[in-house]
Chains A and B, each alone.
Chain A
């Protein structure tokens, strides 16, 4: 990478942190299904996908750590809950199976739009990583879509639970495209090939026709300024879980 001014580097760091935290937190929420998913095979599949997401987070934290001369483990496990920058969609506990399916569907569709833009990033390490992540996320998307159809077209109870989950998650799902500090810098440098607003429009156009037949008409919704800063008690609990082991012996080598 060529010499980068401070503002450019800070904006890139914010971008990497937002994507990494999304992957990290959804990975931990979905890993809460390990051992209790609807059937053994699904248990393995869900756990494996959750692990994939944490693997993506690891790769992104490593990119970020190179940029900011930090330690990826510290970024992942050494921050207070308030310092996380995942989208508000990922603030909620896993809920029932339909809730997790609905959230994964909203997340995977948004992530697909985001990755297609990141794969065109002028920051080459990010573009390469996004390209690799897309190959795996394609499969995650198919898996989420399979479950969406299964619950959406199956017995009324599944459909009703799915509809309730979509209604409750819809507003927070927009926050995946919440404006980032320094977004103008990101676009100017080509780190982001498209602004968040454009990605948001692309995602909504793709997702409404799939979700609304199940949820009914969803209201107009846009990302908000604090969409990646709001934290909840649910997340405070999860943060306590995923920092428990690393916090038990600070500075230990595992």
Chain B
């Protein structure tokens, strides 16, 4: 039997995020479903499983795209220092309210 790798994601409760649990080897989707249930659900620990053939996953791990060499601090919330602007705005609001 030719085996394929299936990645398994599990959700503990309704509404929780699907978290990668691990993987199983199986010849096809049908047995992968059975094996995922045995490995990641037989103790009642999962509310839902997603079983995805690894070769169906589009992978991106190119550092040029994910870790570009330029400064990206402006794309993070910490990239803007708004502390002083916020203080000024608060003062302005207080002054207007006092008028």
Contacts of B37 in A (CB 8 A): 139
Interface-forming stretch among A36-44, A123-131, A169-177, A236-244? A36-44
Interface-forming stretch among B11-19, B26-34, B64-72, B90-98? B26-34
Q: Which among B31, B34, B35 has the highest number of chain A CB atoms within 10 Å?
A: B34
Q: Which among B1, B30, B35, B38 has the highest number of chain A CB atoms within 10 Å?
A: B38
B25 adjacent to A39 (CB under 8 Å): yes
Contacts of B30 in A (CB 8 A): 146
A39 adjacent to B3 (CB under 8 Å): yes
In the complex, per-residue mask of A28-52: 1 if CB is within 8 Å of any chain B CB, else 0: 0000000000111110110010000
Given contacts A44-B39, A48-B42, contact A39 B34 (CB under 8 A): no
Bound complex: CA A146 to CA B1 (Å): 14
A143 adjacent to B3 (CB under 8 Å): no
Query: Using a Cβ cutoff of 8 Å, how many contacts connect chains A and B?
Result: 31
Chain A residue with the shortest CB-CB distance to B43: A48
Bound complex: CA A139 to CA B31 (Å): 12
The smallest beta-carbon distance between B25 and chain A, in angstroms, is 6
B38 in complex: contacting residue of A38, A39, A48, A142, CB < 8 Å: A48
B42 adjacent to A41 (CB under 8 Å): no
Chain A residue with the shortest CB-CB distance to B31: A146
A38 adjacent to B1 (CB under 8 Å): yes
Chain B residue with the shortest CB-CB distance to A51: B42
Bound complex: CA A48 to CA B31 (Å): 14
Contacts of B27 in A (CB 8 A): 150
Contacts of A48 in B (CB 8 A): 38, 42
Bound complex: CA A76 to CA B82 (Å): 73
The smallest beta-carbon distance between B7 and chain A, in angstroms, is 14
Chain B residue with the shortest CB-CB distance to A143: B34
B24 adjacent to A41 (CB under 8 Å): yes
A41 adjacent to B1 (CB under 8 Å): no
Contacts of B35 in A (CB 8 A): 41-42, 44-45
From 2 to 49 in chain A, residues with beta carbon under 8 angstroms from any chain B beta carbon are: 38-42, 44-45, 48
Bound complex: CA A150 to CA B34 (Å): 14
A40 adjacent to B25 (CB under 8 Å): yes
Contacts of A42 in B (CB 8 A): 31, 35
Bound complex: CA A40 to CA B31 (Å): 12
Contacts of A39 in B (CB 8 A): 1, 3, 25
In the complex, per-residue mask of B43-71: 1 if CB is within 8 Å of any chain A CB, else 0: 00000000000000000000000000000
CB-based closest 4 A-B pairs: A41-B35, A45-B38, A48-B38, A44-B38
Known: A39-B1, A44-B39, A45-B38. 13 other contacts (CB 8 A): A38-B1, A41-B25, A41-B35, A41-B38, A41-B39, A44-B35, A45-B34, A48-B42, A139-B34, A146-B31, A146-B34, A150-B27, A150-B31
Subset of 7 A-B contacts with CB under 8 Å: A39-B3, A41-B26, A41-B35, A41-B39, A44-B38, A45-B34, A150-B31
